[in-house]
Amino acid sequence: TQLLEQSPQFLSIQEGENLTVYCNSSSVFSSLQWYRQEPGEGPVLLVTVVTGGEVKKLKRLTFQFGDARKDSSLHITAAQPGDTGLYLCAGPDRGSTLGRLYFGRGTQLTVWP
Amino acid sequence: KAGVTQTPRYLIKTRGQQVTLSCSPISGHRSVSWYQQTPGQGLQFLFEYFSETQRNKGNFPGRFSGRQFSNSRSEMNVSTLELGDSALYLCASSLRGESTEAFFGQGTRLTVV
């Protein structure tokens, strides 16, 4: 059983479209992080959300942390081919910010020119 | 500032052999965590070391072990390799062990034949 469930698992869209991916859990997290991973590479940290209800923007990417700190979403506006990759959400061990991270299985995004 | 360096990048081993993977964290970082990534299970936590001490361990058999040296470099060892050990092994480093600031290396792709 995955502690963090991500949906959709796969997403294939045309350049210029908008999209949202979701990360849900029945557990409360002190923070959630989003990573993007490209083939053959390690995950790269995009953002960390800490406060319930928090919204963070990174250019065309908008990240939201749910009020109850059990879920998060990533919205991409006007997707570009360079956004292609595996998007992973992750959260630390319950009650701890140290060391261990739990990962969702990821959303594989493909943006076609 | 150099990132997290993992060596080797690719490795092919035969069932029953053992393997040692290396991770050099970002300079000054004292925590190193290891993850196994497979298509079926996603990223699974192996263990975390902080100042040469194993602080946290995931649910993997005893064939998986690790250590950290005084310069924070870490190695992980897998003995008696099985086909199912084929995976991308990722190392992440952080300054104080805070999971919110983990930086990943490019990984070592291990194939067991």
CB burial readout B31-69, b (16+ within 10 A) else e:
bbbbbbbeeeebbbbbbbbbeeeebbeeebeeebbbebe
Q: Give me the mean pLDDT over the B59-69 stretch.
A: 96
Looking at the complex, does the CB of residue A17 fall below 8 Å from at least one CB of chain B? no
Taking a C-beta distance cutoff of 8 angstroms, is the pair B74, B49 a contact? yes
For an interface test with A, the pick among B100, B104, B106, B110 (most A C-beta atoms closer than 10 Å) comes out as B100
Q: Cα–Cα distance between B109 and B28 in angstroms, integer?
A: 26
Residue A37: is its pLDDT beyond 80? yes
Q: Give me the mean pLDDT over the A83-102 stretch.
A: 82
Q: Cα–Cα distance between A50 and B69 in angstroms, integer?
A: 32
Taking a C-beta distance cutoff of 8 angstroms, is the pair B21, B108 a contact? yes
Whether A97 sits inside 8 A of B98 (CB atoms) is yes
Window 56-95 of A, Cβ < 8 Å to B: 88, 90, 92-93
Taking a C-beta distance cutoff of 8 angstroms, is the pair A31, B78 a contact? no
Q: Give me the mean pLDDT over the A27-54 stretch.
A: 92
Name beta bridge partners: A35.
A45, A88
Q: Give me the mean pLDDT over the B15-36 stretch.
A: 95
- Smallest Cβ–Cβ distance between B99 and the set A44, A100, A105 belongs to A100
- Smallest Cβ–Cβ distance between B45 and the set A2, A45, A100 belongs to A100
Q: Could you tell me the pLDDT band of residue A101, with boundaries at 50, 70 and 90?
A: confident
Residue B97: is its pLDDT beyond 70? no
For the record, the structure tokens of A98 come out as 């140290």
Q: Give me the mean pLDDT over the A30-47 stretch.
A: 93
